[in-house]
Amino acid sequence: MAADEYKIDVKPEVLLMEQVLGPLADGELRVPRFQRPFVWRPEQILDLFDSIERGYPIGSLLFWETSEELASLDRIGDLPVPEPSPGRAVAYVLDGHQRLSTLYATLRRPADARRTTAQKDWMWWPFRVLGTGAEEGPSRYRHWKQAEPPPPYYLPLRSVLRTRDFLAFARDLEERATPNMDIDRLINEAELVAQRIRQYKIAVVRLVGGELSDAVEVFSRVNSTGQAMRPAQMVSALTYREKGQQTLADRLDGMVEQIADTGFGEVSSDAVFRAVLAVTGEDNVQEARWDVLAKRVQHKLQQAVDDTEEALERAVEFLRSENVGVPLARLIPYDAQLMLLTTFFHHCPEPDRHQMEELARWFWVTSWSGHFAGANSTQIKQAIQQMRRFAHGAESVTPDEERARPFPDRFDLRSARVRAFIIWELQEFPERLTADGEKVNPVDILARGATSAYRHVVIKAGLAAASSPANRLIMPTRPRISLRNTLLQLPEHLRGAVLASHGIPEEAWAKLAQGDDEGFIAERRAALAERERNFMARFGLSADTAEGETDIDTE
C-alpha cells in the first residue's frame, strides 16, 4: 500500500449553524470519549452567543471523518444523542467539544426539558433580552434562575432555529405584553437575532481518512485553544476501543477524586498517568512517542491502572505519615516524587523499617535540594530505574552529595523549596495559639486557602524583607485587627506561649515592639533557618546560612 494512502486529507469549509447541529442530532457527528468533559461556566455560554450575534469569530472546529469506530459520548451537553444509522459515515469532534455542547444543548433544547432553580438545569436555558429590558444589565444575554417564568421580552434561544417555536414565543409575547411594550419592535428584534444565529458561519476543518494516531497528532498541533493535547489524553485516545469500557482518562480522574475524598486534596493527574506508565514497565514517561508507547502498553494498561490505584493509595499514606508529614497534596514539592513513590509501592507494597526511613530521607533531600527541578527525561528515567532497584533490595535511593537550597527570600507556593519549608514548619509547630490562647490547627486553615492562610505580619511598601516566609503566620485574628497589632497587644501572661507556638523568638517580638520591622523579620528568619538546618542534619544534609533567591520550579 502506498505511503500516501495513510495520510489525512485536510478540508477547510464553512458551515451554517444548522449544518453543524443537524449531524449531531442524527448521531453522525460524535464526541469521542477521550475528550475532557464539559467544563464551561454559565457565563461562558452567554459570552458565546453574544459573540455569535455580533459576528465575532468563535474559533474553528476540527472534525475527523473515518471508517474507524471510536467509543463516543451518548450525551452532548445534557441532551442524549442517537446512535448513527448503519452504513452512514461518521465524523468525530477533535476540537470544539465545549462550543458544540453549548450550541447543541441550548439551540436544540426540547420545550419540555427540565427547568429548575438548580444550575445544572437553568444553565442550558439562555435568553436574549429584547428591547428596553436589555438596559437592565451589562449583557443582552441572561440566564433566568427563578422558578417563575421569565418576562415576556426574554427570547429563549431554543426557539431561534425552529419556526414553530419562534411563533409560539411571539404569541406568548402578545398575550403577556404590558401596555408600554412595542410588540412589533420586539418581534422584529427577535427575528433579527434569530436570523443572525441561523446565518452565522462556522469555520470547520474536516480531516478525512488516516488513522487515529494521525488525527491525534493533528489535534495536538492545531488545537484552536492553543493548548496541546496532554499525553494522558493522547494515550487514552490511542488505547480505547471497547464500548462500555472506561477510558484511561476516566480511570485517572477516578483515582484523583478518590484521593481527594480522603481530605488530602487533588494530586496531579499527570503524575498519576506517568506512574501508570512506570508500573507497566516503561522508563521514558516524560517525552515518549505517545503513539508508539500506546501500542506497546495497550494490552497491559488496564491491569497497570488497577495496580497503580493500590500503589498510589500506599504512596499517599506514606506522604501523610509521621515519616514525612505532607498534609495536603498541593504541598508535594515535585510531581516526580509522587510518581516515583507510587512506582516503589507497586514493587514493594510492604516495605521494612529501613526502606521507610530511607524513603523519608530521599523525600526530604530531593525536596530541599531541588533535585527534580527541571529534570529531563533521562534523569527521570534513571530515577525510575533506581527506585525499582531500591524496591527490590538496593541499599539506598537518596542521591549523593546533594546540598540544600538556602532559606528562601520570598514566600511563593510555586517554589518546591517553599513547599518543603511549609511541610517542615507545620511539623515543627503543629498547634498554634490565638491571641486568647486558644488552640487552632494550621492544616485545617491551610486546607481552606493555601496562600491566604499565611498572612503578613509587616505590610510596608518598599520593604524587601516583607516578602520573606519569616513575615508570614497562620494565626486567626479578630475582625479588622491586623496580625501585627494582634501580636503587639498579646496579654503578658500568654505572650510567651503564643509566640513560641508560631516560632517567634522573644527577641524578634521586641524588635517589632520597637518599630524595627526589618529587625523582626531578620530575627525570626534566623531562628527558623537554624531550626530547619538542625532538622536537615538528621538526614545528612547541610545548607548555607545565607538567604537565597526563591526558585520557581516548573515540571
Q: Name the residue type at position 488.
A: L
Task: Give the model confidence (pLDDT) of 455-466 as tens digits.
Answer: 999 998 888 889
Query: Please, are residues 204 and 63 in contact by the beta-carbon 8 Å criterion?
Result: yes
Please check whether residues 53 and 172 belong to one and the same domain.
yes
Q: Do 82 and 108 sit in the same domain of this protein? A: yes
Residue 398 lies in a domain: no
Q: In terms of domains, do 17 and 95 share one? A: yes
Q: Measured between alpha carbons, how far is residue 241 from residues 32, 58, 72, 385, 500 in Å?
A: 11, 32, 10, 31, 60
Q: What is the pLDDT of residue 216?
A: 66
pTM of the model: 0.71
State the angle between helix axes of 42-54 and 97-107 in degrees (0 to 180), rounded to the nearest 10: 80
Q: What percent of the chain has pLDDT over 90?
A: 65
- Cα distances from 341 to residues 278, 303, 363, in angstroms, run 11, 19, 9
pLDDT tens digits, 15-74: 999 999 999 999 999 998 777 778 899 999 999 999 999 999 999 998 999 888 877 888
Q: What is the mean pLDDT of residues 84-95?
A: 84
Residue 133: is its pLDDT beyond 60? no
Q: Is residue 32 part of a domain?
A: yes
Q: How confident is the model at residue 132 (pLDDT cuts 50, 70, 90)?
A: low
161-175, 444-458, 517-531: the lowest-pLDDT one: 444-458
Does residue 476 lie within any of the structural domains? Answer: yes
Distance of CA 335 to the CA centre of its chain: 14
Say yes or no to pLDDT of 509 above 80. Answer: yes
Give the model's pLDDT for residue 244: 55
Assign 555 a pLDDT band (cuts: 50, 70, 90). Answer: very low
Mean local confidence (pLDDT), 355-375: 94
d(CA 270, CA 248) in angstroms, rounded, equals: 12
User: What pLDDT was estimated at residue 135?
Assistant: 46
Inside any domain, residue 169 = yes
Mean confidence (pLDDT) of the chain: 88
DSSP per-residue string spanning 210-275: S-HHHHHHHHHHH-TTS-PPPHHHHHHHHH--STTSPPHHHHHHHHHHHHIIIII-PPPHHHHHHH
232 vs 146, more confident: 146
Tens of pLDDT along 90-109?
899 988 899 999 999 999 99
Residue 400 lies in a domain: no
Task: Please answer whether residues 541 and 360 qualify as being in contact, where contact means their C-beta atoms are separated by less than 8 angstroms.
Answer: no
What cell numbers appear for 121 in the block? 438545569
The pLDDT assigned to 154 comes to 95
Q: Which of 228, 246, 275 is the last residue of a domain?
A: 228
- pLDDT at 21 (0 to 100): 95
Residues 161 and 47 in one domain: yes
One domain for residues 434 and 523: yes
* pLDDT of 240 over the 80 cut: no
Closest to 474 (Cα-Cα) out of 497, 513, 503 = 503
Q: What's the CA gap between 148 and 146, in Å, rounded?
A: 6
Q: What average pLDDT does the segment 526-549 reach? A: 87
Is pLDDT of 359 > 50?
yes
Of the three residues 195, 228, 261, the one that is the final residue of a domain is 228
Regarding whether 285 and 217 lie in a shared domain, the answer is no
Q: Which residues pair with 233 in a beta bridge?
A: none
Q: Which 3 state secondary structure label does DSSP give 201?
A: strand
Q: Do residues 74 and 3 share a domain? A: yes
Is 445 found in the same domain as 517?
Answer: yes
C-alpha cell of 520?
Answer: 523582626
Rounded to an integer, what distance in angstroms lies between the CA atom of residue 546 and that of residue 534? Answer: 15
239, 217: one domain: no
- Considering the domain architecture, whether residues 30 and 156 belong to the same structural domain is answered as yes
Q: Is it the case that residue 500 has pLDDT exceeding 90?
A: yes
Of 86-100, 135-149, 232-246, 394-408, least confident by mean pLDDT is 232-246
Residue 2: other Cβ atoms inside 10 A:
6
Q: H helices within 392-472, ranges in order?
A: 416-428, 442-448, 450-453
Tell me the pLDDT tens digit for each residue of 282-316: 998 887 666 667 777 777 888 888 999 999 999 99
Considering the domain boundaries, does residue 401 fall inside one?
A: no
Number of domains in the chain: 3
Both 422 and 368 in one domain: the answer is no
Which residue, of 228, 252, 277, is where some domain finishes? Answer: 228
Confidence of residue 447 (pLDDT cuts 50, 70, 90): confident
Question: How confident is the model at residue 224, as a pLDDT?
Answer: 43
Residue 249 within a domain: yes
Same domain, 46 and 169: yes
Would 397 be classed as within a structural domain?
A: no
The residue segments making up the domain with residue 190 are: 1-228
